[in-house]
Amino acid sequence: MKLKTSRFIAVLLAAVMLVAALPISALAVNHSDEFNVVISMEGLTLGQGFYVKPKSYTLEEINTLLAKENYGPYAEDELTAGMATLAMLIDNGLEYHITGSWESDAYISEIADIDKGSVDIPSVITQNGGPGNNDHDGNSDKWLGEFDYSFMSGWMITVNDLMIPVGSSQFGLEDNNGSSGYQDYGNTYVIRWQFTLWGYGADLGHNNGWGSAAYYEHANKDMLYAAYADSNNAAAKASALKVMENLTATQNEVDAAIELLNNTSSENTGREAQSVKAVLNATLAQLAASIPAPVFGTTAGEWTVLSLARGGYYDTDSAYFNDYYSRIVETVQSTADSNGALHRVKSTENSRLILALASIGKDPTNVGGVNLVTPFDDFSWIPKQGINGPIFALIALDTQNYQTTDSTIRQQCVDYILNKQLADGGWALSGTAADPDITAMALQALVNYRGQATVAEAAEKGFGCLSAMQKDNGGFASWGSINSESIAQVIVACTAWGIKPDTDSRFVKNGHSAVDALLEFYIEEDAVFCHTMNGGSNAMATDQAAYALVAYDRLLNNKNSLYDMTDVTKQASASKDIAATLSLPEKIENIDGTSFNAIIDLTAWDAKAGYKLMDCIVSVPSELSVTDVTVGGRVSGGQLSYHLEESTGKLRIVYFDPQNGNDIVISGSSYPAEFLVIGFELNKDINIAITDRLSVAVTGMTLKKNSQSDNADSMTIVDITNASDNVKIVKGISYTAMVLYTGDDVDLISSNQTAIAIAVTGVNDGVKIKFNDGTNSIFPRYSASISAKTGVSTYVCMTTSSNLSAFAKASNYTIYDRTADSITFGDSNGDDIINAQDALASVNMWLRKADAPSGDEILSMNVNSDTRLNTFDALGIVEYFVNGDEFAVVDKAATLRNVID
């Protein structure tokens, strides 16, 4: 049946091509193929793709399913769209609620457990007044149906591209042929259940007849759905799915996808590059999604990074790779021995990591101060695990031509490999019979030494051996079973040597190439690969297949081979000495216009480096506008420029001196130092039921000494691991209390004295507040310096209460219509001038030449916010006065490190 349907669709398409100038209704042709209904259920308006992908049902299949719930059987001319839908629901085990009955006037009101949670609402909806990703009404239960996400939402049904005007159970499939707008596909009927979010179907591209015109001209995807349901070509289906999931796909895009589906049946032996590319893209996307944070390891680690980097899925300077690198630095620093070896006997641990780092442009000779290449100077360490060691040592060292101190190491590896070649021309971990994986890997390692006659001769034998091992279906077997990993390694070996594994006669058997064979292991539904046929998803198989397809794709596009990474731009090592942190207030009010600051501190600075330019990218949510960006008070030497690209939410900041090229200077010596302050403002009221937090993150920050982009020493990448934060959105007045410090009974602050900072949203700046928990009554003092830094009114007070959690309760606060008493840190005598008198007061206090300090005196004098009043505070005042250093207590309060729950 499916073949017949396929032929029908091909004929149909040919007709369409002939009359391409005609409207889509020209697709409607009569045919006499078997009655079949293609049914799908989709949430494209929510950006959730398909809940049920298009599937074709015969009448018999429908009746069999309906019989499970004692309906039917039905004849072709009796079957309604409703009953066909019920069959689909039964088939997929979906729980549902309807109004009416299936046999008369059923309307699906909601379906259980299909809502994917997150939404990505197409812009065409928001542009027509519909909700956006952050201001929709949400879905509070497991059911997806009417009134979820917006008051206009619900399920709508089209049959043969007609949005039917009656209940689905009132709409007979055959009876309605010829209805206005109803497309005739012969015995094929296409039912699409679509979730409308806004405009009662106008967002689906349909005129609903109630006054809302279609927001766009929808493409008729029915034949694409039918072709998709009929196709068993995984790659083509993956490509078609992208078009199907595009709410506003054009008719040309739909027609092209139909053509691809019909030109790539599973019987084809030659793989179209386009379909391979589709599999590759889908696999890389799946890897990126399923492994959001790769770490050091054989799975979900270096091989994944290699695939994504060499496949170009992420830029080498992306946050994905930078975050991975940060994790690697920590792992390496904690794992490597004094020589840089990550394992006592497994040199491949170093090799694998070098491969990954080279692929993302990182320097493996300096990973947080560890040189991963150094241990390769000891050849005796390299082959301790067997032939894998020399093979991957060569591959790793050659990626970017990393040099060992002992210049003979590479040749020793080559000789080792050559000496291990078996009589059959291949290589194996052990034994005398060649193994395709090891043979392919040995050939990958030897490619850069092909100029040596012995290598060239060995390679010829090796490829001959591989060719001989290839099975009739194009595959390769290792340890007794045909598996995807063996095929993947052969593909990588071929591409490294410039051999096309899809067309080279040595690697095509009975019309089946190695590439064909690999794709047979692809599981389209999940965009993964299995190890053995029908063996289910396998992480290692997916990793190896992915980078094999990357290698193949690179060959087709005349790019450097997979492991020849001389085309990768080298990135400077992220400085572990200079790290950025980003701090937001704990809470802000949800109303339009609410302003606050993000503070970006640097943990250190290299004054001798001669940095001329700082550039920085900050990811900003769409709810925020940038009101200002300033450099910290201790930063000088440059001019600041910034721009928020609203379409991407990327705030780009650059700081340099365009006239004189002065060095950037951070005065003073205490760190962290405030480097940038970004002023934000809510650009609309926020519905906290939908959005209760906004996140801001530095996604990149570099310090550049000059313009030599090819010189890693020209740039320092600031460690941004901790340069992200989120702010809670609250309605009205809120209080966030944090502990600044508690005394330790050593120097003038007793252990029952605790300094509290309280950030208050939704009040006029500096109004008087009172804390009273029934036991303690305090008027906290307003701090202009903390408030200015955070953009949120902040107060401080000293308490001897042990019930600190009381400070987190809003009910314990009262707001007065008066101005609060304020505090100026460092101004111990309260004369509004911070000078030598204040510094001396701290000294004298510590010398006990003065009376024991009051709570307010402690607050003003303990400028470094530690547990004691001592000469450090005096020095803090000197540094503030002379260098303009910020008091540590201000930074501590602004960055909210000890919030009281």
Partner 1 sequence: MEKNTLSVKEENVKEDKSSSKQKKPLSKKKKIAITISVVSLAVIAVVLIFFLRGCSSFFADAPSVTIETPDKKSASDHEQFSLELQLSSLGDALYPAASFSISFDSSKLEFLGIEEGNVMITDAQSVSGYQLPEWNVNVDYSNEVGQINLMYLDMTGGKYAFTNNALDRDGNVLLHLLFRLRGSARSGDIYELSFDDAIFAAADEANSLASSKDTLKTNNGRIVIGE
Query: Which spans of this chain sit near partner 1 (rule: CB under 8 A)?
Result: 634, 636, 665, 667-668, 829, 831, 833, 835-837, 839-841, 843-844, 847, 849, 871, 874, 878, 881-884
Separation of alpha carbons 799 and 742, rounded Å: 9
730 touches 834 (CB < 8 A): no
Q: Is the dihedral of CA 739, 744, 747, 749 positive or negative?
A: positive
Smallest separation (angstroms) from partner 1 to the CB of 361: 35
Smallest separation (angstroms) from partner 1 to the CB of 824: 14
Among 718, 668, 674, which Cα is nearest to 698's? 718
Q: What is the CB-side half-sphere exposure of residue 213 using CA atoms within 13 A?
A: 2
125 touches 205 (CB < 8 A): no
Collapse the DSSP code of 66 into the 3-class scheme (helix H, G, I; strand E, B; otherwise coil) and give the result: helix
Give the max Cα distance, the chain: 106
Give 80's DSSP letter. B
255 touches 243 (CB < 8 A): no
> What residues have CB less than 8 Å from 606, skipping those under 6 apart?
577, 578, 716
Smallest separation (angstroms) from partner 1 to the CB of 342: 44
689 touches 607 (CB < 8 A): no
Separation of alpha carbons 467 and 470, rounded Å: 5
Distances from the Cα of 205 to the Cα of 54, 197, 580, angstroms:
19, 12, 47
725 touches 696 (CB < 8 A): yes
Give 835's DSSP letter. S
Please identify, using beta-carbon distances, which residue of 483 and 864 lies nearer to partner 1. 864
Quote the tokens at residue 47: 């950006």
Please identify, using beta-carbon distances, which residue of 341 and 890 lies nearer to partner 1. 890
Separation of alpha carbons 584 and 692, rounded Å: 14
Among 311, 304, 306, 396, which Cα is nearest to 349's? 396
Identify residue 65 by its one-letter amino acid code: L
Smallest separation (angstroms) from partner 1 to the CB of 635: 9
Please identify, using beta-carbon distances, which residue of 20 and 836 lies nearer to partner 1. 836
Please identify, using beta-carbon distances, which residue of 357 and 664 lies nearer to partner 1. 664
Residue 245: burial class (beta carbons within 10 Å; 0-12, 13-18, 19+): middle
Smallest separation (angstroms) from partner 1 to the CB of 844: 5
Smallest separation (angstroms) from partner 1 to the CB of 881: 5
Please identify, using beta-carbon distances, which residue of 422 and 874 lies nearer to partner 1. 874
The 10 Å Cβ neighbour count of residue 620 is 23
Please identify, using beta-carbon distances, which residue of 632 and 791 lies nearer to partner 1. 632
> What residues have CB less than 8 Å from 150, skipping those under 6 apart?
130, 131, 136, 137, 197, 198
Smallest separation (angstroms) from partner 1 to the CB of 831: 6
Beta strand pairing status for 715-719 and 574-583?
parallel
Among 386, 396, 380, 370, which Cα is nearest to 427's? 386
Smallest separation (angstroms) from partner 1 to the CB of 603: 20
Smallest separation (angstroms) from partner 1 to the CB of 752: 28
Strands of the sheet containing 36-42, edge to edge, are 50-58, 36-42, 188-196, 154-159, 162-163
Smallest separation (angstroms) from partner 1 to the CB of 841: 8
Please identify, using beta-carbon distances, which residue of 623 and 866 lies nearer to partner 1. 866
Separation of alpha carbons 301 and 295, rounded Å: 5
Q: What is the CB-side half-sphere exposure of residue 34 using CA atoms within 13 A?
A: 15
Please identify, using beta-carbon distances, which residue of 809 and 849 lies nearer to partner 1. 849
Smallest separation (angstroms) from partner 1 to the CB of 633: 8
Smallest separation (angstroms) from partner 1 to the CB of 584: 28
The 10 Å Cβ neighbour count of residue 268 is 14
Smallest separation (angstroms) from partner 1 to the CB of 672: 18
Please identify, using beta-carbon distances, which residue of 226 and 839 lies nearer to partner 1. 839
Give 368's DSSP letter. T
894 touches 599 (CB < 8 A): yes
Please identify, using beta-carbon distances, which residue of 462 and 637 lies nearer to partner 1. 637
Please identify, using beta-carbon distances, which residue of 374 and 829 lies nearer to partner 1. 829
Q: What is the CB-side half-sphere exposure of residue 371 using CA atoms within 13 A?
A: 13
Smallest separation (angstroms) from partner 1 to the CB of 846: 8
Please identify, using beta-carbon distances, which residue of 183 and 870 lies nearer to partner 1. 870
Please identify, using beta-carbon distances, which residue of 537 and 636 lies nearer to partner 1. 636
Please identify, using beta-carbon distances, which residue of 716 and 842 lies nearer to partner 1. 842
790 touches 725 (CB < 8 A): no
Identify residue 850 by its one-letter amino acid code: A
878 touches 859 (CB < 8 A): no
Q: What angle do CA 675, 596, 704 make, to 5 degrees?
A: 25
Smallest separation (angstroms) from partner 1 to the CB of 876: 11
Provide the phi-psi class of 230: left if phi over 0, else alpha when psi is between -120 and 50, else beta.
alpha
Please identify, using beta-carbon distances, which residue of 476 and 846 lies nearer to partner 1. 846
Smallest separation (angstroms) from partner 1 to the CB of 798: 22
Please identify, using beta-carbon distances, which residue of 298 and 835 lies nearer to partner 1. 835
Please identify, using beta-carbon distances, which residue of 755 and 888 lies nearer to partner 1. 888
Smallest separation (angstroms) from partner 1 to the CB of 636: 4
Please identify, using beta-carbon distances, which residue of 71 and 881 lies nearer to partner 1. 881
Collapse the DSSP code of 596 into the 3-class scheme (helix H, G, I; strand E, B; otherwise coil) and give the result: strand
Collapse the DSSP code of 20 into the 3-class scheme (helix H, G, I; strand E, B; otherwise coil) and give the result: coil
Smallest separation (angstroms) from partner 1 to the CB of 873: 12
Separation of alpha carbons 540 and 544, rounded Å: 6
Among 579, 625, 584, 633, which Cα is nearest to 606's? 579
